Amino acid sequence: MVKNFLLKSDKSPKNVQIKKDIINHFITTGNDTIAELSKELDLSVPTITKFIAELKDQGLIAEFGKIQTTGGRHPSVYGLNPTSAYFVGVDMSRHHLNIALMDFTGNIVEYQMSIPYTYENTTESFDLLCDHIQKFIDKTGELKKKIFNISLNISGRVNPESGYSYSSFYFSENPISETLTKKLNYNVGIDNDTRAMAYGEYMKGVSEGEQNVIFVNISWGLGIGIIIDGKPYYGKSGFSGEFGHFPIFENEILCHCGKKGCLETEASGLAIHRMVMERISKGESTLLTEQIKDINKLTLTDIIKATNMEDPLCIEIVEEVGYKLGKYIAGLINIFNPELVIIGGQVAETEGFIMLPIRSSIRKHSLNLVNKDTRIVTSKLKNKAGIIGACMIARSRLFNE
C-alpha cells in the first residue's frame, strides 16, 4: 500500500529507493536537515530537496521548524509525519493477546493488554483471534483508514517471508498471512514472537546504540532473538533463535518439539512450573499452597508472584534454572561476542532472583575477554516488548521489501 503511495509521483525504481532510504533514515535517526541527509545518503542537496518536497506532498514527511544557528540562514528540520500512517502489532501467547496501534514515528497511540484468549491450534481459535484484532481495529475509529500493515507474533517456527507458521494454525495449504489478509482486509505479516521482542527492545527499549544484540526470552518456552549489525537475523527460512531446543540434557523429559533432553526441558517457565509442582507433591512448604485453592490450576504467573514475595521454594527453583541457563547464554556470548544481552520474557519479571544466578554462571563459563565486551541487562519494555516489536516490524516491512 505504501509502496504504491511512493510510486504515485515517480515510477522510477531508483527514485523510489531514494525515497525509501530517506524514510529509513528518519526511522533510525529521527528528524534531520536536508544538509545532513545529503551527507548521510551521499546525494546532492538539490536532489534531497526535490525528494523531500515530493514526500511532503504525499503527506509522509513534515517540516518541524528551523534550527537556530549563529549566522546565515536557519536550516529547516524534517521528519516523519506521525499521522500519515499507522501500524498494528499483535502479540499472541498461550492465555492472552496484547494489541497496539503505532503511528508513523513509532509512538504507541492505543493498546490493549492481556485480552483473555486461550490459544488452541484450531480453526475456532484462529477465528476468535481474528475477531479480537477486528474489534481492536474498529475501536480506532477514523484512524483505521490509515492502517497500512499488521504484524502478528507467533511462537515457534515461523517463516515471515512465505507467511507460513509451522507451529500454530498450520491447517491450510495457504499461508496464514494470506488468510489473515483476506479476513481482515489489511496487509498482514507474521513473525516469531521472540524476534519481535528483540526488535522492540532494540528500537525502543534498553539498547543504547548497540548493533549486535541477543534477546533471551524466558517465558513458558525458551528462545532467542538475534540482531546483527542493527538488523534482525532470520536464517534461511526464518527459523533462527530456537535456543530452547539445544539437545543438552540426558533426561527422559519429552519436549513439545517431540525430542528429549532439550535445554527448554530444564531451563524455562515450563521447567520451573514442573519443578514447583513436583516439590509440592512431595509435601514441601510454599506460599502457593496457601494462595491457590486448586494446586492443579497453578500458573507460571502465580509462581512469579510467589517468587517476588520471597517464597523460599520458588526462589530456590528460579535460581537453579537461572544458573543452568547462564551456562548456555555464556556459550552464546562466546560464539556471537555481542555488545548486549537482554533477558526478557515472563520469568525475567523475577528481576534479581533470575538475573543474579545468570550473571554468576556467565562469569564462570564464558571467556573473560569476550564477556567483558557484553552488557547484560533485563528488558526495559517488559510485557510490551512483543507488541512494540510487532508494530516496528509492520512498519519496517513496508520500506524494506
DSSP state at residue 172? S
174: exposed, middle or buried (Cβ count in 10 Å: 0-12, 13-18, 19+): exposed
What tens digit of pLDDT does each residue of 141-199 get? 999 999 999 999 999 889 999 999 988 888 888 999 999 999 999 999 999 999 999 99
Taking the domains of the chain in order of start, what are their residue ranges?
2-80, 86-198+386-400, 208-379
pLDDT bracket for residue 5 (50, 70, 90): low
Q: What are 29-49's pLDDT values in tens digits?
A: 889 999 999 999 999 999 999
Structural domain 86-198+386-400, CATH architecture: 2-Layer Sandwich (3.30)
The rounded mean pLDDT for the chain is 92
To the nearest whole percent, how much of the chain has pLDDT over 70?
A: 96
CATH architecture label of 2-80 = Orthogonal Bundle (1.10)
227/124 Cα distance (integer angstroms) = 35
- List b or e across 289-303, with b for residues whose CB sees 16 or more CB atoms inside 10 angstroms: eeebeeeeebebebb
Is residue 389 classed as helix, strand or coil in its secondary structure? helix
Question: How does pLDDT run across 202-229, given as a tens digit for each residue?
Answer: 999 999 989 999 999 999 999 999 999 9
Give the helix, strand, coil percentages of the chain, each rounded to 5.
45, 20, 30
Residue 106 clears pLDDT 90, i.e. is over it: yes
Is it the case that residue 69 has pLDDT exceeding 80?
Answer: no
Residues 84 and 108: their CA atoms lie apart, in Å, by 14
Domain 208-379, what fold?
A: Nucleotidyltransferase; domain 5 (3.30.420)
pLDDT score recorded for residue 133: 97
Helix (H) or strand (E) holding 352: helix 352-365
Q: What is the pLDDT of residues 379-395, one digit of tens each?
A: 999 999 999 999 999 99
Going by their DSSP bridges, the two strands 158-159 and 147-154 should be labelled as unpaired
Same fold, 86-198+386-400 and 208-379: yes
127: amino acid identity, one letter: D
On the question of pLDDT at 235 being above 90, the answer is yes
Which pLDDT does position 173 carry in this prediction? 84
What pLDDT is stored for residue 1 in this prediction?
A: 47
Query: How many angstroms separate the Cα of 204 from the Cα of each of 116, 207, 209, 254, 352?
Result: 26, 8, 11, 37, 23
Burial degree of 130 (CB within 10 A; 0-12, 13-18, 19+): middle
